[in-house]
Amino acid sequence: MSRPTLASLASELAVSRQTISNVLNAPHRVKPATRERVQAAIAAAGYRPSAAARQLRTQRSMNLGMRLLPATDGINGAILDRFLHALTEAAQSAGYRLTLFCAESDEEEIRQYEQLLDVAGLDGFILTSSTPDDARTRWLHARGTAFAVFGRPWDSAGQPVAADHPWVDVDGAAGTEGSVKMLLAQGHTRIGFLGWHTGSPVGNDRRLGWKRAMSAAGYGQDLVTLNVEAEDTVAGGAAGTAVLASRGATAMVCSSDSLALGAMGQLRESRPGAFLRGGGPAGPDGQAAVVGFDDTPVAAALGLSSVAQPVEEAARHVIRVLTHELDGSGASLLSRGEGPERQLLLAPRVVERIPLPLAAP
Amino acid sequence: MSRPTLASLASELAVSRQTISNVLNAPHRVKPATRERVQAAIAAAGYRPSAAARQLRTQRSMNLGMRLLPATDGINGAILDRFLHALTEAAQSAGYRLTLFCAESDEEEIRQYEQLLDVAGLDGFILTSSTPDDARTRWLHARGTAFAVFGRPWDSAGQPVAADHPWVDVDGAAGTEGSVKMLLAQGHTRIGFLGWHTGSPVGNDRRLGWKRAMSAAGYGQDLVTLNVEAEDTVAGGAAGTAVLASRGATAMVCSSDSLALGAMGQLRESRPGAFLRGGGPAGPDGQAAVVGFDDTPVAAALGLSSVAQPVEEAARHVIRVLTHELDGSGASLLSRGEGPERQLLLAPRVVERIPLPLAAP
DNA sequence: TTGTATGCGTTATCAA
DNA sequence: TTGATAACGCATACAA
């Protein structure tokens, strides 16, 4: 009653192991009659090839690795759930398994790569963030290991840079640009930007979209006074909003939902009635408006407008391009047709919401 | 420049492969002199045994599997991040890798078990929830596969039941009981319970704690009127709270942060000033209080009191008991001493917070 | 179209 | 204490 193997099946069917192997890996090379007979026996016996034996022979594990970053904020990190699920699902239907690991730092991440490569023979890695002048992508490239990144490559100055490895990212600037346009349509003119004080490339990108849209609308002279940087927390958002409000801002575009949450709270406190218009988007007639980023569950729960990243689509594409790299190298002789985009910038979507009427009329 | 193997190392050192293998797996069986010489060579060459070859030989993959549930709510599901990270970390330091997979249903989950067992040779599984009369645990038990569950076993009627498989859970009743005690200490007497309408064992357990504490405090006669069931959403929480408030409740204990969020919003709207006392916990003098469950990031962000589950500890213990089951079977001859608790009920912690002053004075 | 022989890298068994 | 041999389950080159 133990699990069937190639050998046990072969003797049972009175054919060679090779024939069964061919039925599985090169069906066209075997006569239809025997092929069907073998296939029936495979199904009946519930035979499944052993991945370990196969890996030993082919040097491929059909296994992808990904580092699980520690859950930081919890508000902003809420995106990971969806990304990870879509990633697992996509990998699974592409015939790959997904192995998770932890690392305290990028240096340790590299050491983990090395170990997982040597010990488990992982075929490739998914990186869920990119840093300026990323040592990890350099290492992987030098080692000749396949990988794909969720995040654009940045040079050491934090500027976008060309790279020849596969990556997928979301166009943050387009997101904040869309937020500004939405607020302009609501009648706002003094629209502030509440960003991070870290100077991260991602944050700069989001600020850039705000600048572009404001300039295009003719409010370029406000770019200095209406730009505020704060710590990426609810408290930081409240503090930054106090400054922006004192400079006359009636609406703010934020780099994160944490900041936006703080902004809403601060406005509710300092300007009673700021969100009274439960019936629809508020105008500049004493009304306020806030747009967050990432469209976390918190935003949805509180009626906070936010920029939604297509993380599921990003995850699917990461798998698509990575598996194409892994599977395609051999088949590239046959299908020299184009594969999936090796580099892809996805457009986010601004989700407009009506703030929950959390204050009494 | 290819990776060293047992054979290459052996010829280089002029010893047999077996000796090197022994140095790794049974160091006491090799003479100290040669042992050290081999160990030095291993370190110098950066040799690491191949998991695939090892698995082929030992029939153990050092690999654990876990189904990734689709991110449902996003508010309540926010716990998964922390659980998964702790799980990965614990597995890693126990020498195991973690493989993720997806399934649409519990039946498909079982089919995935079967496939992952046959193909990848996983050593065991972690289940992240338990259902009444769980078919998955029955299947795994029948198959003789090791597993551990985050969640108590329930019989088909949703009552706690004994089972001999390892599990870890958090005592929900103790959590709501603690919530009630906190509210009593604040001066509240009419404390409502806002629970799920699904009749899930987990929900019943949480309701039970409220009942126990209320009865103990002498408010047993209110158990019927102050118990409300609603859909597990923010809107459901608001609706349920309207009912509870109309029955005179000044405080509510909720089965989730989603419900609690809805409760806060509803109270803010219907009772201006309900949370005015920003300076400290509110009393029954016109003040309101809400306690959620799970201590999600949303609760922390909004100053919502909530019951915090020790998910990291739960994850670590799940790995502890599962790896003990896997590793310990052989060593049980030597160390017949007690291992980790095979069944463990962890106590949650009530986190008391001051609501953010989101309404104007 | 099918079968035979060999090796992937490791550990277990046994003999020296 | 160490070494030779076989076997884990599969796929590839080559022969029939």
Tens of pLDDT, residue by residue over B258-314, are: 999 999 888 877 776 666 554 344 455 667 899 999 998 888 888 899 999 999 999
What average pLDDT does range A272-297 have in this prediction? 70
The CB density around residue A13, as the number of other CB atoms within 10 Å, is 17
Contact A85 B70 (CB under 8 A): yes
Q: CA-nearest residue of chain B to A64?
A: B99
Q: What is the pLDDT of residue B356?
A: 67
Cα A84–chain centre separation: 9
What average pLDDT does range B126-153 have in this prediction? 97
Is residue B354 very low, low, confident or very high in pLDDT (cuts 50, 70, 90)? Answer: confident
Position B287 in a domain: yes
Q: Of the ranges A164-168, B274-278, B347-351, which one carries the lowest mean pLDDT score?
A: B274-278
Are the C-beta atoms of A87 and A126 separated by less than 8 Å? yes
Look up the protein residue whose alpha carbon has the minimum distance to the C1' of C9. B53
Residue A66 structure tokens: 């990904």
Nearest-CA distance B78 → chain A (Å): 7
Q: Give yes or no for residue A361 having a pLDDT over 50.
A: no
Q: What is the pLDDT of residue B73?
A: 65
What average pLDDT does range A170-178 have in this prediction? 98
Give backbone dihedrals phi and psi of A235, rounded to 5 degrees, phi first.
-65, -40
Q: Is B213 left (phi over 0), alpha (psi -120 to 50) or beta?
A: alpha
How many whole angstroms separate alpha carbon A34 and alpha carbon A38? 6
Q: What is the pLDDT of residue B60?
A: 96
Residue B278: CA atoms inside 13 Å, Cβ hemisphere, count? Answer: 8
- Measured from the CB, is B227 under 7 Å from any atom of strand D? no
Residue A81 structure tokens: 């759930």
- Give pLDDT tens digits for B26-75: 999 999 999 999 999 999 999 999 999 999 999 999 999 999 998 776 65
How many whole angstroms separate alpha carbon B357 and alpha carbon A276? 16
Instruction: Report the distance from CA of residue A4 to the C1' of nucleotide D9 in Å, as an integer.
Output: 10
Same domain membership, residue B144 and residue B72: yes
How many whole angstroms separate alpha carbon B257 and alpha carbon B263? 9
Position A56 in a domain: no
Same domain membership, residue A151 and residue A34: no
Is residue B360 very low, low, confident or very high in pLDDT (cuts 50, 70, 90)? Answer: very low
Instruction: Report the distance from CA of residue B125 to the C1' of nucleotide D13 in Å, as an integer.
Output: 40
Strands A124-127 and B97-101: unpaired
How many whole angstroms separate alpha carbon A319 and alpha carbon A50? 23
| Nearest CB to B81; choose among A53, A81, A89 | A81
How many whole angstroms separate alpha carbon B263 and alpha carbon B267? 6
Q: Report helix, strand or coil for B113.
A: helix
**Mean pLDDT over the full length of chain B:** 90
Are the C-beta atoms of B145 and B125 separated by less than 8 Å? yes
What is the 3-state secondary structure of chain A?
A: CCCCCHHHHHHHHCCCHHHHHHHHHCHHHCCHHHHHHHHHHHHHHCCCCCHHHHHHHHCCCCEEEEECCCCCCCCHHHHHHHHHHHHHHHHHHCCCEEEEECCCCHHHHHHHHHHHHHHCCCCEEEECCCCECCHHHHHHHHHCCEEEEECCCECCCCCECCCCCCEEEECHHHHHHHHHHHHHHCCCCCEEEEEECCCCHHHHHHHHHHHHHHHHCCCHHHCCCCEEEECCCHHHHHHHHHHHHHCCCCEEEECCHHHHHHHHHHHHHHCCCCCCCCCCCCCCCCCCEEEEECCCHHHHHHCCEEEECCHHHHHHHHHHHHHHHHHHHHHCCCCCCCCCCCEEEECCEEECCCCCCCCCC
Supply angle C-alpha A311, A124, A167, rounded to 5: 40
The CB density around residue B324, as the number of other CB atoms within 10 Å, is 19
Are the C-beta atoms of A322 and A90 separated by less than 8 Å? no
Q: What is the pLDDT of residue B36?
A: 93
Non-local CB neighbours of B20 within 8 Å, separated by 6+ positions: B6, B9, B10, B13, B38, B42
Residue B252's DSSP bridge partners are B192, B290
Q: Which secondary-structure segment (H or E) carries B251?
A: strand B251-254
Residue percentage of chain B with pLDDT more than 70: 90
Q: What is the pLDDT of residue B288?
A: 83
Same domain membership, residue A305 and residue A177: yes
Same domain membership, residue B189 and residue B96: no
Sign of CA dihedral B234, A252, B268, A357: negative
Position B354 in a domain: no
- Number of structural domains found in chain B: 3
Q: What is the pLDDT of residue B278?
A: 43
Same domain membership, residue B301 and residue B224: yes
Q: What is the pLDDT of residue B77?
A: 67
Same domain membership, residue B255 and residue B154: no
Find residues whose C-beta atom lies within 7 angstroms of strand C.
A 14-19, 22, 29-31, 33-35, 53, 56-57; B 3, 5-7, 17-18, 21, 24-25, 47-50, 53-54, 56-58
How many whole angstroms separate alpha carbon A51 and alpha carbon A62? 8
Contact B61 A52 (CB under 8 A): yes
Which DSSP letter does residue B160 get? B
Are the C-beta atoms of A147 and A130 separated by less than 8 Å? no
Residue A80 structure tokens: 């990971």
Chain A contact probe: residue of B66, B97, B113 with most A CBs at under 10 A = B97
What average pLDDT does range A191-203 have in this prediction? 96
Same domain membership, residue A230 and residue A137: no
Nearest-CA distance B75 → chain A (Å): 6
Q: Give yes or no for residue B151 having a pLDDT over 90.
A: yes
Q: Which residue has 């006392």 as its token pair?
A: B277
Supply angle C-alpha A216, A240, A280, rounded to 5: 60
Is residue A67 very low, low, confident or very high in pLDDT (cuts 50, 70, 90)? Answer: very high
Give backbone dihedrals phi and psi of B94, rounded to 5 degrees, phi first.
-90, 0
Same domain membership, residue B277 and residue B302: yes
- Give pLDDT tens digits for B34-48: 999 999 999 999 999
Residue A178 structure tokens: 């869309």
Non-local CB neighbours of B320 within 8 Å, separated by 6+ positions: B90, B94, B340
Look up the CATH number of the domain holding residue A24: 1.10.260.40
Q: CA-nearest residue of chain A to B103?
A: A89
Position B52 in a domain: no
Same domain membership, residue B139 and residue B84: yes
Q: Of the ranges A86-95, A233-242, B113-122, which one carries the lowest mean pLDDT score?
A: A233-242
Closest by CA to B261, choosing from B281, B232, B222, is B232
Q: Protein footprint on strand D: which nucleotides are under 7 Å from a CB?
A: 1-5, 7-13
Q: Report helix, strand or coil for B343.
A: strand
Residue B204 structure tokens: 């019943």
Q: What is the pLDDT of residue A284?
A: 56
Same domain membership, residue A180 and residue A283: yes
The CB density around residue A237, as the number of other CB atoms within 10 Å, is 31
- Give pLDDT tens digits for B232-267: 988 899 999 999 999 999 999 999 999 999 998 888
Is residue A32 very low, low, confident or very high in pLDDT (cuts 50, 70, 90)? Answer: confident
**Smallest CA–C1' separation from A19: which nucleotide?**
C2
Sign of CA dihedral B354, B359, B360, B361: negative
- Give pLDDT tens digits for A330-351: 544 445 567 899 999 999 999 9
Same domain membership, residue A187 and residue A298: yes
For chain B, how long is the longest CA-to-CA vector? Answer: 86
Q: Give yes or no for residue A322 having a pLDDT over 90.
A: yes
Q: What is the pLDDT of residue A169?
A: 97
* Chain A residues in contact with B69 (beta carbon < 8 A): 85
How many whole angstroms separate alpha carbon B94 and alpha carbon B62? 9
Instruction: Report the distance from CA of residue B42 to the C1' of nucleotide D11 in Å, as an integer.
Output: 30
Q: What is the pLDDT of residue A241?
A: 95
Q: What is the pLDDT of residue A256?
A: 95
Q: What is the pLDDT of residue A75?
A: 59
Contact A85 B71 (CB under 8 A): yes
Q: CA-nearest residue of chain A to B358?
A: A265
Sign of CA dihedral A168, A170, A171, A174: positive
**Mean pLDDT over the full length of chain A:** 90
Residue B326 structure tokens: 């896997």
**Which residues constitute the domain of residue B296?**
172-309
Same domain membership, residue B221 and residue B272: yes
Position A10 in a domain: yes
Q: How far apart are the two ends of chain B, measured CA to CA in Å?
A: 73
Look up the CATH number of the domain holding residue B152: 3.40.50.2300
Which DSSP letter does residue B105 get? S
What average pLDDT does range A128-139 have in this prediction? 96
H helices then E strands: how many in chain B? 13, 12
Position B53 in a domain: no
Instruction: Report the distance from CA of residue B276 to the C1' of nucleotide C8 in Å, as an integer.
Output: 72
Position B160 in a domain: yes
Position B55 in a domain: no
Q: Of the ranges A153-167, A207-221, B260-274, which one carries the lowest mean pLDDT score?
A: B260-274
Instruction: Report the distance from CA of residue A164 to the C1' of nucleotide D12 in Å, as an integer.
Output: 33
Chain B contact probe: residue of A8, A93, A97, A114 with most B CBs at under 10 A = A97
Contact B265 A48 (CB under 8 A): no
Q: What is the pLDDT of residue A223?
A: 97
- Give pLDDT tens digits for B1-24: 578 999 999 988 899 999 999 999
